[in-house]
Amino acid sequence: MFFPENSELRAERRRLLDRLGDGSYGAKGSSIEEVICLPGTRVAILDRINEWIKNTSPSTERVLWIRGMAGRGKSAIASTVAHNWASKGSCAIFHFRRGQNTLDGQFICALARQLGKGLVPEVKKAILDCVRENEDIAKKRLDEQFKTLLVGSLGKLQDHAYPIVIVVDALDECNDDADAVRFVRLIDQHSSFIPTNVKFLLTCRPEAPLLVALEPRTWHAEDLDLMPDVSYDITRFVQHACKQIRYDHGLPKTWPSPADLNRIVEMSQGLFQWAHTAITFVGNRSPADQLQDLLQQSSILGGLDELYRQILSKAFNEVKKDPKREQLLSWILGTLVVAPHPVSLDVIGFLYADHDTLVGRAEIVQSLRKNILADLNSLIHISTSSSEPMRLMHTSIRDFLTDRQCEHQPYFVDLSREHRRLATACLQIMGRDLKKNICGLSDILKSNSEVQTEVDRQLSQGLRYCCRSWSTHLTTGVTWSEIAEATSVVIVKFQLISDEKLLSWLEVMSLIGATTEALAMAKHVHQWLLDCSQKMPDQFLRTLWNDTQRFIAAFYEPISSCALHIYASALTQCPVETTLWKKYGCQATARMLLGKRQQNWPTNIWTSSAADEGVRDIAFSPDGKFLAAGFGGGIIQLLDVQTGAWLGEPLVGYRDLSAWFVFSSGPKPLASGSDDDTVRFSEVQSRTPLGEPLTGHSGWITSVIFPLKGEIWASGSDDKIVRLWNMVPKESMDGRLCRHSKWNRSVDLSPDGKILASVSVDNTVRLWDAQTGASLASLGEPLAGHSIWIKSIVFSPDSRILAFTSGDDTFQLWDSQTGASLGEPLAGHSNSISSIVFSPDSKIIASASYDNTVRLWNAQPGASLGEPLTADLELTAPGGLYLSLPWACKPQISNPLPSKLIPRPITIESNWVICGSKRLMWVSHHYLTPRTRVEILSPWRFALESELYDSHGYVFDISGSFKL
């Protein structure tokens, strides 16, 4: 029996699907109706594919690989399979397209979204349940998305009766070859955990990186380049197309002649793309004349490039008498080539509405169809719906248009120039159209998913394109090597948007579900500004866009949940000494009436909490992109340095507690010491052990360290010995052992490989010659300074600074050359620090603690190391608290509403202040502790106070948020 969804269930389903991003991105090629195979063609290969999909025996491979050169019909086959199986089970398809790669990294989310919107209830439920448990999955790495959305959800459907088909087309056109190869390897690694009815169909050209990844597999493969003669299929296709042309134009049944038809088939040379393009060209305008034009050049039109050249030359000859029409046609081609997101006729009309050719025309779309693009229907797919994306029919067309051999032709596309022109257009439109509360929303209690009807009505597709694409066009089009005149106009418009419309842009990105994109854009623009600092000495823009990326990251939850909370929650709590607050603080709709405002972004970039176990040790990867954290229970987990997010599955397999570890200076190994008296090596990417554990110590391993240079590494143990090892072979250098009078806790080698430092339970640090094992007498007595036992040590990358952690929850810096202490101990953690480490560039210090957190600290350029680095305590407030504020901390507010008259209790749940079920405001960690108490003081005022800090009370007035 069918039970219709109520409105709340539909809203929740849409909300969950929105967490996966835009599912339509990549779901279509040139339009699925256009690219599927003609009935009666490709019969043999389609039959083989269908039989493979239906075969669910355990011995059947889960992957079918279709390979072939450009124009062989790979995409048509892939789309046909998706079209046929969409109604028979669950099917999702993603087409990679060169030049439209902005969201390629989200293709797994796009596939999952399609499955979550499919017809099969069990599959929909599995996907939605998975997203509900992992709502931030779109921000995770590719491997985690794969394991969560595909392996995790589909793995629950072992007894599912219907096929689940996942089609990934043109994998070779993925912008990042590494992502494409990684996807292939993920399928191979996890196929045994996926039900046998789940099948992956992959298509690609025989490109080198993918060949290396695919060829060793024993998967089924269909090589279109080795197929027997396909003339029959192409003949059938051409006959069918000509029949339709005869009907549309009233031509006799004898047209075309058998000889002409055969010549078309011969000219195709087995390329379906050539046949499709040629026959579309013939059917445009006067078919008889077009056919003669085609056949008269049969001797030179045997390849795709020559065919494209003829079609483009003819189209531009039609408009060359009108320079304005020629310019607009060139601009549209350039837009289709460089656009990072799909564009429709509506978007084209929106972007170029002020062009002289279109000004004053009531029907811009029709004018584009009939007067500008009419001769390019064979190269550009133009849907009958003006809102559907336009696309170049084939990637080879883009390659031809950007080839320097066409540089002097009117259809040549200069990528840098087109990006710069579109950046100017996008920024100009944004400056004209963006404004605060652009959709006129009045209810801050409604989430973005609840106001999509109004968003669809108010935000045109053209403005959405501008907001999502301007940064790509700007940073690609302005390379700073060109003359100032070429870039001055676009830079002025960028400055204007930054100065006046930045939050309005962020509001649109929030409303269309693109907050993650906005964060990536802000980071990219900031890095671009840093790269061109010599060309733009003005510090304002660099500071503002650094603030912007910090702002989005710090307030991601309220910004992505409801666009109005940019002004109600995020801006209200933005640090007041930042350039962003000084420029836009006046737009905040809520106020802090009592309490000390945060001044600047904390030096503590992020805090990441472990689930159950204390953090034993941490280490930066050599490239500084991620951290490894070791926990009790034999587990090592990787974290993303930029976001603090946990990356993929942990490294496991260690007996007892995984103690200390470090990355080698080489590309792969991670070495770790364990309580079983051994040292182990692991390969980070595959998370697999390398060889057997190394033995030699007679006590549990307390520390392992590699130098940045040299051929030795060191390990420390509670057997009172620091042992030096050769890198290759991995064997102990028995004559070079450094001994303490008591067992040592930690060792570290200076990056230059010259000094070995070791710390013992006698609260001293000793320095040794790493080559000989001799004590460095030049430093005199062992280093000592902490009154409580020293736990671990680490060198800075320049070998000049040593950092010690102590049992009093602090760490301290020392000069390794003189043995002098550099300032006071640095405090911030609420429990013992287990490890600290410098980033490769020495700008960041990371600390791990048994308070279950990992903290990053900024070391400001030029700042004295004698000054302590401090961080704000960032802990997650528990949900469901309803506590009263002590009278001593209450502000004197006239006629406060008594708490007993409030109809519903006010609570804090996951940082949200909630009255009943309504979210009033999101509160930053800066103003919360685990003992934060909240109370309503009047209808639109509430107070926060922490038992941990009796002098700190906060009062917020949110009345302005309800007057929008």
User: What pLDDT, in 10s, does the model give residues 17-32?
Assistant: 888 876 555 555 443 3
**What was the pLDDT predicted at 934?**
80
What are 631's strand-pairing partners? 615, 635
**What was the pLDDT predicted at 67?**
87
Is 660 inside a domain boundary? no
Residue 2's pLDDT band, with cuts at 50, 70 and 90, is very low
Q: What angle do CA 706, 707, 711 make, to 5 degrees?
A: 90
| Residues ≥6 apart with Cβ < 8 Å to 55 | none
**How many Cβ atoms are within 10 Å of 729's Cβ, its own excluded?**
6
State how many domains the chain has: 4
Is 332 inside a domain boundary? yes
**What was the pLDDT predicted at 140?**
82
**How many Cβ atoms are within 10 Å of 552's Cβ, its own excluded?**
24
Is 381 inside a domain boundary? yes
Is 176 inside a domain boundary? yes
**What was the pLDDT predicted at 462?**
96
Q: Are residues 380 and 421 in the same domain?
A: no
pLDDT tens, 184-224? 888 888 888 888 889 999 998 876 567 777 776 778 888 88
What are 203's strand-pairing partners? 66
Distance in angstroms (rounded) separating the CA atoms of residues 940 and 928: 20
Q: Using the 8-state DSSP alphabet, how is residue 694 labeled?
A: B
**What was the pLDDT predicted at 658?**
40
- Give the residue-averaged pLDDT of 585-589: 94
Is 67 inside a domain boundary? yes
Q: Are residues 454 and 538 in the same domain?
A: yes
Distance in angstroms (rounded) separating the CA atoms of residues 148 and 542: 37
Residue in this structure with the two tokens 């009907």, named with its chain if needed: 247
**What was the pLDDT predicted at 904?**
53
pLDDT tens, 737-780? 455 555 455 667 777 777 777 776 666 777 777 766 666 643 43
60 vs 46, residue with greater confidence? 46
Distance in angstroms (rounded) separating the CA atoms of residues 785 and 793: 13
Pairing status of strand 90-95 against strand 164-169: parallel
Name the residue range of residue 493's domain: 415-594
What six digits make up the tokens of 323?
């320079």
Q: Are residues 103 and 184 in the same domain?
A: yes
pLDDT tens, 156-189? 887 777 889 999 998 888 877 788 888 888 888 8
Mean pLDDT of the chain: 77
Q: Are residues 173 and 41 in the same domain?
A: yes
pLDDT tens, 527-559? 999 887 666 667 899 999 999 999 999 999 999
Percentage of the chain surpassing pLDDT 70?
A: 70
352 vs 307, residue with greater confidence? 352
Residue 961 scores a pLDDT above 60? yes
Continuous segment of H or E residues that includes residue 522: helix 515-531
Q: Are residues 196 and 245 in the same domain?
A: no
Q: Are residues 441 and 393 in the same domain?
A: no
Q: Are residues 387 and 453 in the same domain?
A: no
User: 3-class DSSP state for residue 480?
Assistant: coil
What are 835's strand-pairing partners? 848
Considering 372, 393, 413, which residue would you say is the last residue of a domain? 413
Distance in angstroms (rounded) separating the CA atoms of residues 341 and 350: 15
What are 712's strand-pairing partners? 726
Amino acid at 523: K
| Residues ≥6 apart with Cβ < 8 Å to 148 | 130, 134, 137, 140
| Contact of 106 with 21, CB cutoff 8 Å | yes
Considering 353, 379, 413, which residue would you say is the last residue of a domain? 413
Distance in angstroms (rounded) separating the CA atoms of residues 945 and 127: 40
**What was the pLDDT predicted at 670?**
64
Residue 358's pLDDT band, with cuts at 50, 70 and 90, is very high
**What was the pLDDT predicted at 917?**
77
**What was the pLDDT predicted at 525?**
94
Q: Are residues 447 and 578 in the same domain?
A: yes
Residue 938's pLDDT band, with cuts at 50, 70 and 90, is confident
Q: Are residues 28 and 176 in the same domain?
A: yes
Is 277 inside a domain boundary? yes
Residue 354's pLDDT band, with cuts at 50, 70 and 90, is very high
What six digits make up the tokens of 641?
């340095």
Q: Where are the alpha helices (DSSP H) in 73-223?
A: 74-85, 107-116, 121-133, 142-145, 153-154, 177-190, 208-214
Is 608 inside a domain boundary? no
**How many Cβ atoms are within 10 Å of 549's Cβ, its own excluded?**
20
Residue 891's pLDDT band, with cuts at 50, 70 and 90, is very low
pLDDT tens, 673-700? 655 667 776 655 555 565 666 676 666 6
Residue 667 scores a pLDDT above 60? no
Q: Are residues 18 and 138 in the same domain?
A: yes
Side-chain half-sphere of 14: how many Cα atoms within 13 Å? 16
Q: Using the 8-state DSSP alphabet, how is residue 783 labeled?
A: B
Residue 729's pLDDT band, with cuts at 50, 70 and 90, is very low
Is 889 inside a domain boundary? no
**What was the pLDDT predicted at 578?**
95
Q: Are residues 399 and 477 in the same domain?
A: no
Residue 880 scores a pLDDT above 60? no
Q: Are residues 450 and 400 in the same domain?
A: no
**What was the pLDDT predicted at 5?**
59
Residue 649 scores a pLDDT above 70? no
State the sign of the Cα–Cα–Cα–Cα dihedral 546, 550, 553, 555. Answer: negative
**What was the pLDDT predicted at 546?**
94
Amino acid at 290: Q
What six digits make up the tokens of 585?
């603080």
Considering 554, 569, 594, which residue would you say is the last residue of a domain? 594
